Amino acid sequence: MAGNEPAGTTRVDEGELGAVPAEIVARVDALAELIRYHNDRYHRQDAPEIPDIDYDLLVRELQDLEAAYPQLVSPDSPTQKVGGPVSATFAPVTHALPMMSLDNAFDREELEAWAARVAKGLDLADSAAPVGYTCELKIDGVACSLRYEDGVLVQAATRGNGKVGEDITANVAGIEVIPAKLVGSPPAVVEVRGEIYLPIATFDALNEAQEAAGLARYANPRNTAAGSLRQKDPAVTASRGLAFWSYQLGVVEGSPALGSHAEALDWLAEMGLPVNPERRTADTIDEVVAFTDQWLEHRHDLDYDIDGAVIKVNTLGRQRALGATAKAPRWAIAVKFPPEERTTKLLEIQVSIGRTGKATPFAVLEPVFVGGSTVQMATLHNDDQVRLKDVHPGDTVIVRKAGDVIPEVLGPVLSDRPKRMKRWSFPTACPSCGEPLVRPESEAHTFCVNATCPAQQQTRIEYFASRGAMDIEGMGESRVALFIEKGFIANVADLYTIPWDEVAGLEGFGQTSIDNLRSAIEASKQRPLANLLVGLGVRHLGPAGAGLLATHFGHIDAIAAATAEEMAAVDGVGPTIAQSVADYFATDGAADLVERFKAAGVNLVGPERSEEPQVLAGMSIVVSGTLEVYSRDGAADAIKSRGGKNPGSVSKKTTALVVGAEPGASKLAKAEELGVPILDEAGFEALLATGELA
């Protein structure tokens, strides 16, 4: 370094561009190396270590630095290259036209900036003439190029590094939806680019099989698709149920005259290639955003993963005029959805004590915005899961939150693990009462077995008062804690003998709030018996089982007196639930609670037994979409009152799927895949009347 330069500054280039601070040079090198490492994990090993968003941010940072210091751009920078290294397993294929990557837009502003560049590039900037776009889904799978000569599939290749890919023809031949022969009048040569993916229903089934065989679950459909595709044995690939969506033309010789990308896609579909139906054209960015917003909301209705939308300039002439950079076409942009997986720090692992005494470990996370909300806690289920996931406090971990599903810690980013980190071990004493925690043999869970443990009392009472049980408004976490602390309540029956004159002396309890709370407790005495049963927090007993027992036995005394066998004989009540309920009512504590409920005037009587003929006994009917005559609850009641079950999702056990307007696409796809009969509303009415599938 030259003698009189300020510290931390180096001259990599003595020309006009001037000095580049040493830390920038170091950061550019470090970023390039990190990106190469993650490219290799993703493209060659099919085992990415970090979520896409973290990768995209690394690339962004490098691009920004290279834009600010162009003298640092080297020809082998990852920003100048597509994809990853080519593996040795498959023969190399040189693409006739390179398979390019796409630039990303992460928000509307970036999308508009792209649209402005396009308009400028086409000299349309100041005119009112619309550019004209196509909007497609961005399928999260593995890019593939198919070459048809005279209508016959002759070669299939991965993207590889964009110029040279891998020959996967033998493996692609086993993908059912990819035609070996095109129909209609195929041209002399057509190369079709698209995405190979694994349908979610197939992925779930594959994982069920893995679990049944005692093998590890696959992480996600994309990696599983990539791994399935790059099998040495094509029979293994064929067995995996991969699928394909076409989205782009490569080299074409002898095609009909095509003016636009939309026409090209229609043409591919006419020749029998699978083209995703969820595509449209748009004239304005508002229309484009309507498309991306719609799919952001409905992404989980699809039977495949998408991670955004791809917007392309529709006119092929305009595409040619715009051309491409080294890496990506200027006429297309990927609009990326906000991530459902992100990395964050695992600060510590704590244990919470549930109402049954179950000790559940959970991750305390550095707050992270993922899947539409800020996540700072995630369950780790039990000791075995902590071990399986191999997470240590202090780790960088991947957190996933998809749709309405509760957040999940997927695993650590091992390359980020600090040295000499301590493994976490399950505490031996209850964090609430200090009594020893017990893990029964052959149980996955650990328990606090102290019946008077304050944490258990607290959660039991909160649960009893919660909406799905006795629905006592105003009896939330802090009031329950306060009343326990004051000694007013120690169990759920105590709620009906609260010493109100003493409550009146407490800070924050004016006459109005006391009156409201008292009347909420009073109102809870009239709740259906099933709600009371749910509120007792008997292990394994949920609302469905509670409803069946309440209806069948008609009174809490009859349930308490029933044997496990008698309860298991009720259709829909399994032996596990029956045994658990019988065990519960055999305790002195339960008998005492029932006596005190009686004294308080709590409803202990079940509903009248249904008068409907039980034509749906043993059947399981799923409803999806909006029906005309029945509301969602009305349809559920109609099914249950006839002895049927009405679960929320389609499985092998489903008797029929009833569909109204706008049914969920994934339910439909699953029903079709499993061969479950699909009924419209008329078919549903017939089923209710006769118990027969029309």
One DSSP character per residue, 391-429 reads --TT-EEEEE--TTSPPEEEEE-GGGPPSSPPPP---SB
Query: Which residue in 24, 65, 72, 139 binds ligand IVH (CB under 6 A)?
Result: 139
Does 100 bind ligand IVH (CB under 6 A)? Our answer is: yes
CB 238 → ligand IVH: shortest distance, Å?
Answer: 22
* Per-residue binding letters, 333-362, with ligand IVH (x by CB under 6 A): -x----------------------------
Instruction: Give the C-alpha separation, 649 to 632, whole Å.
Output: 14
Least CB distance from residue 194 to ligand IVH, whole Å?
A: 8
Distance CA 333, CA 325 (A): 13
Distance, CA of 282 to CA of 131 (rounded, Å): 9
Question: 3-state class of 213 per DSSP?
Answer: coil
Least distance to ligand IVH from the beta carbon of 331, Å?
8
CA-CA distance, 71 to 553, in Å (whole number)? 82
CA torsion through residues 44, 49, 51, 53, sign:
negative
Residue 166 touches ligand IVH, criterion: CB under 6 A: no
Q: Which is nearer to ligand IVH, 138 or 642 (CB)?
A: 138
Residue 670 known to be catalytic = no
Does residue 248 touch ligand IVH according to CB under 6 A? yes
Does residue 228 touch ligand IVH according to CB under 6 A?
Answer: no
Task: Give me the catalytic one of 81, 120, 138, 327.
Answer: 138
Q: Which of 102, 118, 265, 363 binds ligand IVH (CB under 6 A)?
A: 102
* DSSP structural state of residue 44: I
The interface region with ligand IVH, picked from 39-47, 98-106, 196-204, 541-549 by CB under 6 A, is 98-106
Applying the rule CB under 6 A, the residues between 295 and 334 that interact with ligand IVH are 310, 329, 332, 334
The backbone region for 153, taken as left when phi is positive above 0, alpha when psi lies in -120 to 50, beta otherwise, is: beta
Map the footprint of ligand IVH across residues 259-298, applying CB under 6 A.
none
Please, what is the minimum distance in Å from the beta carbon of residue 302 to ligand IVH? 13
Using CA atoms, how far apart are residues 598 and 528, in angstroms rounded to an integer? 14
Number of residues that bind ligand IVH (CB under 6 A): 14
Q: Are 386 and 424 within 8 A, CB to CB?
A: yes
- Torsion sign, CA atoms 270, 285, 99, 326: positive
For the bound state, the minimum distance from the C-beta of residue 230 to ligand IVH, rounded and expressed in Å, comes to: 15
Check residue 86 and report its DSSP letter.
P
Say if residues 326 and 173 touch (Cβ distance below 8 Å).
no
Tell me which of 77, 79, 101, 666 binds ligand IVH, using CB under 6 A: 101
Q: Which two tokens stand for residue 620?
A: 């399981």
Q: Which stretch binds ligand IVH (CB under 6 A): 99-107, 426-434, 580-588, 623-631?
A: 99-107
Asked if 136 is part of the footprint of ligand IVH (rule: CB under 6 A), the reply reads: yes
Q: How far is the CB of 47 from ligand IVH (least distance, A)?
A: 18
Q: Report d(CA 107, CA 111) in Å as an integer.
A: 6
* Residue 680, token pair as written in the block: 């419209």
Pairwise CA distance, residues 146 & 144, whole Å: 7
51 binds ligand IVH (CB under 6 A): no
Q: Does 143 bind ligand IVH (CB under 6 A)?
A: yes
Residues within the interface to ligand IVH (CB under 6 A): 100-102, 136, 138-139, 143, 195, 247-248, 310, 329, 332, 334
Active-site annotation, residues: 138
